[in-house]
């Protein structure tokens, strides 16, 4: 999973189609980051709403779970984005 998917190709073998595939991968990585951020914000807002408006009960406990889960989801998304971005940049350097 952590190996570079383009290392099996020689630099001279990459053509326009391969460059466009790398560009699509960059855009997919950005869309994935935005999805993680959207999910993270939804969990954080739901958690804060439950904590603010529900003094006790199941939803208050759900708020205590959703808030840190939202923060962890956002952090995981950013870490995954940075890791994948480095992989893509490495593949592009090798291809040039």
3 compared with 58, residue with greater pLDDT: 58
8 Å CB contact between 19 and 95: yes
Q: What is the mean pLDDT of residues 68-81?
A: 96
Residue 94 has pLDDT above 80, yes or no: no
pLDDT tens sequence across 4-31: 665 665 556 667 777 788 888 889 999 9
In sequence order, what DSSP letters do the residues of 20-44 get, joined into one string? HHHHHHHHHHHHHHHHHHHHHHHHH
Per-residue pLDDT at 1: 47
């Amino acid at each position: 999973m952590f190996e570079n998917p383009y290392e099996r190709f020689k630099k001279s073998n990459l053509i326009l189609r391969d460059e466009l595939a790398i560009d699509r991968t960059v855009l997919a990585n950005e869309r994935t980051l935005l999805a993680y951020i959207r999910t993270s914000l939804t969990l954080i807002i739901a958690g804060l709403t439950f904590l603010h408006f529900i003094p006790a009960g199941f939803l208050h406990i759900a708020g205590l779970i959703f808030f840190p889960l939202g923060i962890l989801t956002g952090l995981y998304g950013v870490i995954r984005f940075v890791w994948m971005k480095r992989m893509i940049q490495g593949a592009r350097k090798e291809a040039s």
